[in-house]
A and B are shown apart, each in its own frame.
Chain A
Amino acid sequence: MLQPSLPHFLAVGALLFCFGMVTVATRRNAVAVLMGVELLLNGANVNFVAFNHYVVGGIAGQVFALFVIVLAAAEAAVGLAIVLGIFQTFRTVDVRAADLMRE
């Protein structure tokens, strides 16, 4: 029971996912919403690597996790650039304020 096994890792991934979802759903600050997205991706990544180790074997799940990390980094860079653009235009990062695609 105390030894780590597949359900323990799945539970950690599930909790990361749930907290990320709560963050995305409740925050009004766009940067905080992006943090929630990172948590969501991390929860999914834990599941990938855990299933790879305990069920499948090999390294396919780890390669998938690496691709997720790469895409998460790209998403964070573009997302934060968009947030900075929103801030320059609307002088706020409240997601409710950015309801126009022009100035």
Chain B
Amino acid sequence: MPNRLGKLVVWVVVAAAVVAFVLFVGGRAPEVLAGRAGEPLLGTLTLSAAVFWLLAALAVAGAAAVALSRNILYSALGLLASLLGAGSLYVFLSADFVAVTQLLVYVGGVLVLVLFAVMLTNQIGQVNVSNASFGLFGGILLFLATAPLLLLVAVGIPWKTRPDPKLAETTAAIGNAFLDRWLLPFELASLILLATLIGAVVMARKELKADEA
């Protein structure tokens, strides 16, 4: 039964991704691996480079699943993989706080909201109804029109990079910056969140007509 095997493979991959993310970000894994991260694992491929390629592949494959899957529940799971992959890439960019925030806000909050919306609005069994698209042809055309250009820009331009970017912890500096230079945007963000809270409740509640009340 290939269907059940496919499901099993998907679940194993998702579980492995979650465990790897937690180990890599929160645990002692970086320190344990620190001595060996620079050593070549296979040819010129080092351990950290191998982890990077795995996570990048996870992010891109998840995004492809969101765009191409016929079942919206699989699209939501693809979004989970994509957000996890992109979030763990932040660790390579010396952005530990952003990575953990991505895990908490996106995977813990936004994705749960999306799953609730999927469950509340669709009959999951009706695959073609649940995630119909305007046609694969236009999508492929759009992808072929944009992706090569953006990839060419990303790879082809000689970016003026810093000589030796070091990995450093940034949480304390971010806290200071929020209450110092970016105090006004920070307070505005809290105002926006309050307005969102009230607005979402007002819009999603059941409307009572005057004669029913």
Residues of A within 8 A of B (CB): 1-23, 25-29, 31-32, 34-36, 38-39, 42, 45-46, 49-50, 52-57, 59-60, 62-63, 65-67, 69-74, 76-78, 80-85, 87-88, 93-94
B159 near A6: Cβ-Cβ < 8 Å: yes
For the complex, give the distance between the alpha carbons of A78 and B154 in Å: 33
B45 and A15 contacting across the interface, CB-CB below 8 Å: no
Q: Which residues of A contact B95 (CB under 8 A)?
A: 49, 52-53, 62, 65
Q: A12-B86, A66-B98 are in contact. Are A80 and B133 (CB under 8 A)?
A: no
Structural contact, B203 and A26, CB atoms closer than 8 A: no
Contact of B101 (CB < 8 Å), options: A46, A50, A66, A80: A66
Chain A: interface secondary structure? helix
Inter-chain contact B101/A15, CB cutoff 8 Å: no
Q: A55-B160, A93-B121 are in contact. Are A26 and B63 (CB under 8 A)?
A: no
B189 adjacent to chain A (CB < 8 Å):
yes
Contact (Cβ within 8 A) B143 A18: yes
Instruction: Report if A11-B45 is in contact (Cβ < 8 Å); known contacts: A26-B133, A54-B165, A65-B95.
Output: no
- Known contacts A26-B67, A59-B173; can you find 18 more A-B pairs with CB under 8 A? A7-B155, A8-B56, A9-B92, A16-B63, A16-B86, A21-B146, A23-B67, A26-B133, A28-B132, A32-B131, A36-B66, A42-B82, A52-B95, A59-B177, A67-B189, A69-B105, A84-B120, A84-B203
The answer on a CB contact under 8 Å between A31 and B72 is: yes
Interface centre among A15, A21, A60, A73 (most CB of B within 10 A): A15
Q: How far is the CB of A64 from chain B (nearest CB, A)?
A: 9
Is the C-beta of B182 less than 8 angstroms from some C-beta in chain A? yes
Set of chain B residues within 8 Å of A20, measured between Cβ atoms: 63, 66-67
A-chain residues with CB within 8 Å of residue B206 when the two chains form the complex: 88
Interface size on B, residues (CB 8 A): 85
Nearest-neighbor residue (CB-CB) of B59 within chain A: A12
Chain A residue numbers with a CB within 8 Å of B177 are 59-60, 63
Partner of A32, one of B75, B142, B174, B193: B75
| Contact of B30 with A by CB under 8 A | no
* B101 and A69 contacting across the interface, CB-CB below 8 Å: yes
Judge whether B121 and A83 touch: CB under 8 Å. yes
Contact flag A3-B173 (CB < 8 Å), given A49-B93, A57-B165, A62-B97:
no
Give CA–CA (A21, B153) in the complex, Å.
18
Chain B residue nearest in CB terms to A12? B56
